Amino acid sequence: MTPKKPLVAIIDWAKSPLGDPESAAERAVIGDAAEVRRFLCGSDADFTEEICGADALIVWHNTPITATGIARLRNCRALIRNGVGFDSVDIAAARARGIAVCNVPDYGTEEVADHAIALALALCRQLFPLDAEAKQLGWVIRVEPRLRRLRGLTFGIVGLGRIGTAAALRAKALGFKVVFHDPYLPNGADKAVGVSRVRTLDELLAKADVLSLHCPLSDETRHLIAEREIALMKPGAFVVNTARGAVIKKTAILDALREGRIAGAGLDVVEDEPLKTSEEASAPNLIVTCHAAFCSVESKLEMRATSARIALAAVRGERLENVVNGVS
């Protein structure tokens, strides 16, 4: 009797699937080493018996994996987050069950950095209000007080990791003065990249004309930017977030926009996304881009191939890449 093949289950978000029904990119890597199947789920409450018996799970973002769901996994060696962030997975529960949680930290570095810069440029040059004026067959530059020359503006970065560094280099090339805050980097990181460093977030907030967030979401960074922090910023400052939505307190940023306490915000991610009401969506000087900063034809293929490579190692019992919860 032929032994049953291992199963790699791809958990795609039922509300807005991001993969393809054939899982072609994953099958190209995994080949005949395992069966590859895609499942549409809203959360781990939708896990079938087949999913619970899988040897590895590849999980797209927006599908939360809780301790309850993890407790149902019978054979899983690796739970692979198809992306950089892993805050949607209860990594402690997975560790307690001996399940490695892995991510793909480098696939979309260029795309997210490009997107952050694009949002910053759209805000500094007020592209969307000018576009709307022109399409109403008008030609009045009502947003002139918000139009800024890039050279000499301070581009403040929170988190100088892979993406933060890529954004810093792009901003520097455009003429911004780049300043960053990252308490976890060793001395000299600023010299290696050729940017300036401040030791406190408060100092960065006071300096920044554009604040760009590039830190992971954790208990430490949840609501890192809230009412107190926004009050420290310049009234003409712009906020850009391509990291995780809950790094910024949603009510705080929307209220600040309505009250004119900052000049604008470009948010690829929002807390409790997507936006829930027309009132939220109508906040003035707000750009929102559907958690799409990571996305390009090239980045998605790279991400999926990396996740599949980790899943293949899992079903073969080999060493795993990018483990974030300490399970070997």
For 1-24, how does the pLDDT look when each residue is reduced to its tens digit (9 = 90+)?
557 899 999 999 998 898 999 999
Question: Are residues 188 and 90 both part of a single domain?
Answer: no
Question: Are residues 98 and 184 both part of a single domain?
Answer: no
Catalytic (active site) residue 95: no
What total number of domains does the chain contain?
Answer: 2
d(CA 143, CA 139): 11
Question: Would you say residue 327 lies in a domain?
Answer: no
What was the pLDDT predicted at 61?
A: 78
Q: What global pTM score does this model have? A: 0.85
Question: Are residues 138 and 217 both part of a single domain?
Answer: yes
For residue 42, how many other CB atoms are within 10 A of its CB? 12
Catalytic (active site) residue 273: yes
273, 279, 304, 318: which is the annotated catalytic residue?
273
Q: Which domain holds residue 182?
A: 109-288
Question: Would you say residue 230 lies in a domain?
Answer: yes
Q: Between residues 4 and 188, which one has the greater pLDDT?
A: 188
Question: Are residues 19 and 87 both part of a single domain?
Answer: yes
CATH number at residue 220: 3.40.50.720
pLDDT at residue 167 above 70?
A: yes
Question: Would you say residue 184 lies in a domain?
Answer: yes
81, 197, 291, 304: which is the annotated catalytic residue?
291
181, 244, 271, 304: which is the annotated catalytic residue?
244
What was the pLDDT predicted at 220?
A: 97
Question: Are residues 92 and 234 both part of a single domain?
Answer: no
d(CA 79, CA 101): 5
pLDDT > 70: percent of the chain: 99
Task: Report the greatest alpha carbon distance in the chain.
Answer: 77
Angle at 171 between CA 169 and CA 173, to 5 degrees: 70
